[in-house]
Chains A and B, each alone.
Chain A
Amino acid sequence: MITYPGSQDDRDALWALGALDAEPVPVWHDESELPDLDAVVLPGGFSYGDYLRCGAIARFSRATAAVRRFATAGGLVLGICNGFQILCEAGLLPGALLRNESLRFVCRDVRLTVGRDDLPFTARYASGQQIVLPVKHGDGRYLPPPNLDPAQVALRYVDNPNGSVDEIAGVCNEAGTVMGLMPHPEHAVDPLLGSDDGALLLASLVDAARERVLAAT
């Protein structure tokens, strides 16, 4: 879990991953080397105050350079909200996230359709399944590059909250090892929170990381 100055959902994500029997490790943004990790999560928040563009400054932090090396070597990387914006700015995911079409910050539960269930992040879902996760962002309007392969769309909004092109809520890289999404799975890990659908996404990642470790031993 990388924490940038201005990250705010790192603690929820650390807690959620811990509750799923993962061993989450916080990493401060100026660390130039990652500890021995099996997956990386970039949390939500407002890294570096969202100055210039969301994620534009975080892209150049030391930890992000280490995440880039980790991702390029095939490591599993999940970016949530601001983490998604950082991955797009860093070029690890295609596209860009722009100001919501409504110009309003949206903070509510949204329904989503799972596009793929064969990713390390979605294996516990079924393709076509509808899930509920909260969103809370001002800059979540996803603009894909002209050549985006539709197979890279992992999640779509049922009721588009921000004007994203083609209702896209989450995308992955071509290899399916890096994924970003605007909704917050870490805020939906217990029915008390309104939904526990997010736990399945994080649990999928934990499963995939664990399988990789077992396969390597």
Chain B
Amino acid sequence: MRATVLVRPKAGILDPQGEAVGSALGHLGFDVQDARIGKVIDLELEAADAATAKAEVERMCERLLANPLIESYEVEIVG
């Protein structure tokens, strides 16, 4: 089974990387109000079904993949 994890800086956490990219997009003429940069983690795992896989990946997020103080995460089971 394949899973994709999206890790984002939490709302309210200063993201200077996002600000720099947002400002660069502005210089290119794009009308961007806000840019935030996170990360994507693609996983392949063995699991009986999608619900079990999702629960397992959420445990991975809590323990390692995201730091709950500064990051939020979303898990998508691709199938």
> Is B64 close to A, CB under 8 A?
yes
Q: Which residues of B contact A100 (CB under 8 A)?
A: 16
> Is B17 close to A, CB under 8 A?
yes
A window 51-70: CB within 8 A of B:
52-53, 56, 60
Query: What total of chain A residues lie within 8 Å of the partner, measured CB to CB?
Result: 17
> Is B13 close to A, CB under 8 A?
yes
User: If the complex has contacts A98-B13, A102-B16, A103-B20, are A56 and B69 also in contact, measured as CB distance less than 8 A?
Assistant: no
Find out whether the CB atom of A99 lies under 8 angstroms from the CB atom of B16. yes
Give the one of A99, A100, A101, A141 with max B CB within 10 A: A99
Give the one of B14, B20, B69, B70 with max A CB within 10 A: B69
Q: Which residues of B contact A60 (CB under 8 A)?
A: 64
Find out whether the CB atom of B67 lies under 8 angstroms from the CB atom of A53. yes
> Is B65 close to A, CB under 8 A?
yes
Find out whether the CB atom of A101 lies under 8 angstroms from the CB atom of B16. yes
**Whole-angstrom CA separation of A95 from B69 in the bound complex:** 7
| B67 touches which of A89, A101, A141 (Cβ 8 Å) | A89
**Whole-angstrom CA separation of A100 from B67 in the bound complex:** 17
Find out whether the CB atom of A96 lies under 8 angstroms from the CB atom of B14. no
User: If the complex has contacts A101-B14, A143-B13, are A96 and B67 also in contact, measured as CB distance less than 8 A?
Assistant: yes
Find out whether the CB atom of B13 lies under 8 angstroms from the CB atom of A103. no
**Whole-angstrom CA separation of A116 from B76 in the bound complex:** 47
B window 51-79: CB within 8 A of A:
64-65, 67, 69-70
Give 9 nearest A-B pairs by CB, closest first: A96-B69, A96-B70, A101-B16, A103-B16, A96-B67, A53-B67, A103-B20, A99-B16, A143-B70
| A-B contacts, 20 listed (Cβ < 8 Å) | A52-B64, A52-B65, A53-B67, A56-B67, A95-B69, A96-B67, A96-B69, A96-B70, A98-B14, A99-B16, A99-B17, A100-B16, A101-B14, A101-B16, A103-B16, A103-B17, A143-B69, A143-B70, A145-B69, A163-B14
